[in-house]
Amino acid sequence: MVAMTNSAAVLADAAAYAAAVEQASVAAAAYYATGESALDDDAYDRLARGIAAYEADHPEEVLAASPTGKVAGGAAVGDVPHTVPMLSLDNVFSAEQFATWTASLERRIGRPVTAWSVEPKLDGLAVAARYRDGRFERLITRGDGTAGEDVSHAAGAVVGLPERLAEPVTIEVRGEILMTNDQFDQGNATRTEHGGAPFANPRNGAAGTLRAKDRAYRVETTFFAYGALPLPDSGELGETLAELPHSEVLSYVAGLGVHTAAGTDVAPVLAATVEEVQVRVDAIGSLRAELPFGIDGIVIKADLAADQREAGSGTRAPRWAIAYKLPAVEKITRLLAVEWNVGRTGIIAPRAVLEPVEIDGSTVGYATLHNPADITRRDLRLGDQVMVYKAGDIIPRIEAPVVHLRTGDETPIDFPESCPQCGSGIDTSEQRWRCTRGRNCRLVASVSYAAGRDQLDIEGLGATRVVQLVDAGLVADFADLFTLEREQLLALDRMGETSTDNLLAAIETARTRPLSRVFCALGVRGTGRSMSRRIARYFATMDRIVAADVETLQRVDGIGKEKAAAVVAELVELAPLIDKLVAAGVTMTEPGATPPPEPGTEEEAAAGAGAEAVGGTGSTLPLAGMTVVVTGAMSGALEKLSRNQMNELIERAGGKSSSSVSQRTSLLVAGDKAGSKRTKAEDLGVRIAVPEEFAELVGAFLAAGEDT
């Protein structure tokens, strides 16, 4: 169940109440006018709830400026009257509050509601798009709810709002305009290239973009329809719309060619009971972190026109719909410092140190920053107030500085002039900076990685041993491990006969590891364990991997053009190491994998660009076409398998392994102490198996891979 931890601001007296109303009005006015506010959503909600609580206790003191009584809570902006007011929504924050709300609605209409539409609460700006005889006519913001601003000039860059509808109808479509995550990144890049300040978050970006006139560049946003109503000269359509259930209005609008949330993972669904609604609410909450656009809650609406009519509306919000708010995933905090860390491949990566802030149930003190160019492009400065986003398991990220909160005391971020690890030079020719010594800068880390459990799995070769080997000049890369001699090892501190022989035996075993493990040990950037397995299974031999060009590499599931180019470039750099490994007799083939057809042959043409699952996979495999996630402690026949070995097993049995549960997950293998992944799978109705059931399913493949 979605945890709601929101509290209200406590207002002690009339003066505190008045100050809170003033603060909320200023924030709301700024938010509705420009999308910018000094308060993040969570802070605004807490303030508004404190105001409402005070008003409930002191009804005689309610101020006219209070946001609780307003239609839309904002200052009037624009002069195009709305035919029907654009209302806001009341909020609930828990299952209990939702149940109380439904009970009061059902009391009001005197019967149970048997159809609820459960949809995402899209985190953007409400707009009304008017169409006359099927042609786009006008785009209007919500403004203060009674009149909005004409922003028709911006409609051309709004994805999902066609110029012409599929039928020549006169209709007003209402919905939300937002920036998808991609549009936000793209929009900020374009904007800063043109000398503009970056948008603090996607909603801010959508608001700014909609109101901007005469921009020298184009920034796209996306429209999602969530309702429609007739215009004065809609004719018969007016009566039809008035009688249709809300869900059918949405389908009708989609049929006209207007974008709705129907094609997304959080598409509106109908629920018959409060319990069913709650299941969908939890499912949408679970999907939130992976959505390509922002949502800040779930909207639940009585679906039937008669229920809506009889419930009616208040001045601020309808009584037949409610917003079930999700916890805030964005907070404003201060950027204190930037740390520069050198990774195992020599990449020098910046990381933001933040004033710790509580987001979505955990304390966030750090956030990723991609590269120096990204810092420059976003014009980040030390001391900046920044908008930080974190949802679910994702790594927190800084969306952008909140430029209008700058005091003038912010200072530029210093970029390193030499490698912070070893003091060598920095190669700045690529977006991601790198120590000129490359992998050698963190030689111990890169050899330890190669020897690690999920790569060559060399028992007895921990970091301390690797340091010894490197310091003694015996190892300059991990291929040197395979030519180590007994006497050389015996000469090292704390290396007796037994540990030496054990280590040499472990190295011998490593020489026979399959290609997927050897490839992973190379530490090619962007190719972890699962990608290495896919590459090895696709190409079957190291020769073929090395010979692959950018186009061929893209045939591997999950490799796009950019990644393919990066892998090709890195394999050139790694060629001497690969040659050394070949010379040392290390395995360069993947057992069970069938090589892809040679380029230019008939088989190749038949295989086509979609060929991905070669390597003995076929529809007879028990996990063919399935995406499997593993969580919790394995038991029975699977007890000794690491996560990586479990993933290898899944892939041998024809499935695809994944680390996160989503609607695309076919099966969750849940062992003892399975936590949030199990809950999420239950919410989404994903099939769950205990390790013993799974072992039975893939039994034949279990034995096959025991010694890999």
| Contact positions vs ligand IVH (CB under 6 A) | 87-89, 119, 121-122, 126, 176, 226-227, 299, 318, 321, 323
Residue among 204 and 500 whose Cβ is closer to ligand IVH: 204
Nearest residue to 168 via CA among 138, 131, 133, 135: 133
Give the relative orientation of helices 515-522 and 443-451 as an angle to the nearest 10 degrees. 170
Measured CA distances, 83 to 77, 86, 238 (Å): 16, 9, 13
Q: What is d(CA 121, CA 521) in angstroms, rounded to the nearest whole number? A: 44
Strands 147-148 and 687-689: unpaired
Q: Which residue has the tokens 């970006």?
A: 205
**Minimum Å distance from CB 145 to ligand IVH?**
8
Q: Which residue has the tokens 């690491």?
A: 642
Residue among 318 and 383 whose Cβ is closer to ligand IVH: 318
**Minimum Å distance from CB 247 to ligand IVH?**
12
**Minimum Å distance from CB 85 to ligand IVH?**
9
Residue among 17 and 320 whose Cβ is closer to ligand IVH: 320
Q: Strands (DSSP E) along 487-533, which ranges?
A: none
Q: What is d(CA 224, CA 159) in angstroms, rounded to the nearest whole number? A: 9
Give the relative orientation of helices 95-109 and 274-287 as an angle to the nearest 10 degrees. 140
- Cα dihedral sign, 624-627-630-631: negative
- What is the separation of C-alpha 199 from the centre of its chain, rounded to a whole number of angstroms? 19
Pull the structure tokens for residue 596: 């892809």
Residue among 119 and 149 whose Cβ is closer to ligand IVH: 119
Beta bridge partners of residue 118, listed in sequence order: 269, 300
Give the relative orientation of helices 443-451 and 463-471 as an angle to the nearest 10 degrees. 130
Q: What is d(CA 370, CA 670) in angstroms, rounded to the nearest whole number? A: 34
**Minimum Å distance from CB 203 to ligand IVH?**
11
Asked if residue 641 lies in contact with residue 694, where contact means CB atoms within 8 angstroms, the answer is no
Residue among 298 and 461 whose Cβ is closer to ligand IVH: 298
Residue among 108 and 334 whose Cβ is closer to ligand IVH: 108
**Minimum Å distance from CB 52 to ligand IVH?**
15
**Minimum Å distance from CB 668 to ligand IVH?**
29
**Looking at 121, 301, 656, 680, which residue is catalytic?**
121
Q: What number of other Cβ atoms are within 10 A of residue 216's Cβ?
A: 8
Residue among 122 and 253 whose Cβ is closer to ligand IVH: 122
**Minimum Å distance from CB 559 to ligand IVH?**
36
Residue among 28 and 649 whose Cβ is closer to ligand IVH: 28
Q: Establish whether 301 is a catalytic residue.
A: no
Query: DSSP letters of 636-664?
Result: GGGTT--HHHHHHHHHHTT-EEESS--TT
Give the relative orientation of helices 515-522 and 529-539 as an angle to the nearest 10 degrees. 130
Residue among 183 and 421 whose Cβ is closer to ligand IVH: 183
Q: Which residue has the tokens 């962007």?
A: 526
Nearest residue to 69 via CA among 314, 316, 312: 316
Asked if residue 615 lies in contact with residue 592, where contact means CB atoms within 8 angstroms, the answer is yes
Secondary structure of 318-356 in the HEC alphabet? ECCEEEEECCCCEEEEEEEEEEEEECCCCEEEEEEEEEE
Vertex 277, ends 389 and 180: CA angle to 5°? 30
Return left, alpha or beta for 169; rule: phi > 0 is left, psi -120 to 50 is alpha, else beta: beta
**Minimum Å distance from CB 327 to ligand IVH?**
16
**Minimum Å distance from CB 339 to ligand IVH?**
38
Residue among 229 and 684 whose Cβ is closer to ligand IVH: 229
Strand, coil or helix: what is 687?
A: strand
Q: Which residue has the tokens 């005091």?
A: 407
**Minimum Å distance from CB 90 to ligand IVH?**
9
**Minimum Å distance from CB 440 to ligand IVH?**
53
**Minimum Å distance from CB 175 to ligand IVH?**
8
Q: How many CA atoms lie within 13 A of 488 on its CB side?
A: 17
**150 secondary structure, DSSP code:** B
Contacts 24+ apart (CB under 8 A), 11-15: 11/50, 11/51, 11/53, 11/54, 14/58, 14/61
**110 secondary structure, DSSP code:** T
Closest residue to ligand IVH, judged by C-beta, is 126
Residue among 318 and 622 whose Cβ is closer to ligand IVH: 318
Residue among 172 and 176 whose Cβ is closer to ligand IVH: 176
Task: Work out the burial of residue 35: count CB atoms within 10 Å of its CB; fewer than 13 is exposed, 13-18 middle, 19 or more buried.
Answer: buried
Mind telling me the catalytic residues? Answer: 121
